[in-house]
Amino acid sequence: MHFMKVLFYSSKEYELPYLRDVLPPSLDTTFIPELLSAKTAPLCKGYDAISIFTSDDASSEVITLLKKNGIRYISVRAAGYDNVAIQAANRAGIVVGNVPEYSPYAIAEHTVALMLALNRKLIRSHQQVHQHNFTLDHLTGFDLHKKKVGIIGTGRIGSVVAKILHGFGCTLMAYDVNRNQSLEHKYNVFYTSLDTLCSFCDIITIHLPLNEQTRYLINKRLIDQMKRGVMLINTSRGAVIQTKDVLDALPSGQIGYLGLDVYEYEKGVFLYDRSNDKLTDTTLDKLMSYSNVMITPHQAFATEEALSNIAGTTVYNLTSWAAGRISENELTYIEIHSPSESSVTRVTQ
Ligand code: NAD
């Protein structure tokens, strides 16, 4: 049997039962709550591998420190890996693997939950009822049926969102660098440019990875083109939208509803109980001051099925490496040069 010592950074109570269920004796594991950073990287000394989550910092500076401390493998317990310098890891000979698909349903269903809760004012309704106010004041919503919904990113999660919203009778528009013909045929998804999608849709939902091309993709220029009162939902990564531009569009009603499961400055805040600390994030305070803004703390993935699949694939990645095999979830950085784009970088699996 091949043994491997693994240090799990950012480990949380909610995931431990799922991991303990599937951890084999060949993995000698330690779980710590600390986020990976340049400061905490030396904690990995003596381990073969580390496992990290979305807010851990695996930038090239940290990769150098991991290499110095003998780390050979990084298993990301998430689908998104924008926090990992894949190119630096590849160069350092550190193998990185993620969990590309654990339950697109979990995130897609949470996306629709945000749409419905915002539209049907469920939080306000619940509060009014608890105050014995059984009127319908301030509770009017709109039918989703026949509304135009724009899906930005029609990969695994965006495709499930399309399927669900087709069931609601929505008209679906999409923007993606790759067209998914099956969505066009099955759900009448109409692919168009980002500008057109933004100008036509009543609801816009984002399902892109965060990378050099998508950072701040949704900014003032596009927000100004959107329909007045648009509903904007982001369950992908916070920095895909320019938060300050979104905030600026709230007082005028240009953005009528905002649903966020991710936030540009969520690191060290989301997933933690900060109720006894004094948070000094005025942007988050401002966002939370609007009744038409709903924020959830990066919880879209948190279903039993997703957590169990994340644990299973993480253990698969680690045991493959422990046995000297390749995991099918390894991430390799490649650079693509095209005539229209001077240099486009991609990470492939
Ligand atoms: P995916 O890779 O299956 O789909 C992403 C889609 O985006 C692909 O169709 C791709 O062609 C498209 N795309 C990539 N770059 C683009 C660009 N520059 N312009 C236009 N289209 C582009 O990923 P997925 O599984 O659907 O997940 C999407 C993202 O959701 C993840 O990268 C992650 O950041 C986020 N996520 C969030 C949670 C959560 O709990 N909130 C959980 C899982 C994933």
2 is catalytic: no
Please tell me the predicted confidence (pLDDT) of residue 335. Answer: 72
- Give the bridge partners for 110, in sequence order: none
What number does the ligand 1 atom closest to the CA of 208 have?
Answer: 7
- Ligand 1 pocket test: pick from 154, 161, 236 the residue with the most ligand atoms within 8 Å of its Cβ: 236
Pick the catalytic residue from 266, 304, 305, 346.
Answer: 266
Question: Of 56, 59, 52, 57, which Cα lies nearest the Cα of 73?
Answer: 52
Pick the catalytic residue from 298, 328, 335, 346.
Answer: 298
Q: Could you give the angle at the alpha carbon of 208 between the alpha carbons of 202 and 210, nearest 5°? A: 130
Q: Are 301 and 106 in contact (CB under 8 A)?
A: yes
What number does the ligand 1 atom closest to the CA of 100 have?
Answer: 25
Helix (H) or strand (E) holding 157: helix 156-167
Please tell me the predicted confidence (pLDDT) of residue 292. Answer: 98
The alpha carbon of 110 and the centre of ligand 1 are apart by a number of angstroms equal to 15
- Regarding the beta carbon of 262 and ligand 1, being less than 6 Å apart is answered yes
One digit per residue, the tens of pLDDT, for the chain of length 349 reads 578 999 999 999 999 999 999 999 999 999 999 999 999 999 999 999 999 999 999 999 999 999 999 999 999 999 999 999 999 999 999 999 999 999 999 999 999 999 999 999 999 999 999 999 999 999 999 999 999 999 999 999 999 999 999 999 999 999 999 999 999 999 999 999 999 999 999 999 999 999 999 999 999 999 999 999 999 999 999 999 999 999 999 999 999 999 999 999 999 999 999 999 988 999 999 999 999 999 999 999 999 999 999 999 999 999 999 999 999 999 998 876 654 443 445 566 6
For 233, phi and psi rounded to 5 degrees? Answer: -125, 130
Query: Using CA atoms, how far apart are residues 105 and 30, in angstroms rounded to an integer?
Result: 30
- Regarding the beta carbon of 238 and ligand 1, being less than 6 Å apart is answered no
Please tell me the predicted confidence (pLDDT) of residue 1. Answer: 54
Nearest CA owner, ligand 1 atom 32: 209
Please tell me the predicted confidence (pLDDT) of residue 78. Answer: 97
Please tell me the predicted confidence (pLDDT) of residue 337. Answer: 62
What number does the ligand 1 atom closest to the CA of 158 have?
Answer: 26
Q: What is the largest CA-CA distance in the chain?
A: 66
Place of tokens 């491997």: 4
Please tell me the predicted confidence (pLDDT) of residue 234. Answer: 99
CA atoms within 13 A on the CB side of 274: 12
The alpha carbon of 158 and the centre of ligand 1 are apart by a number of angstroms equal to 8
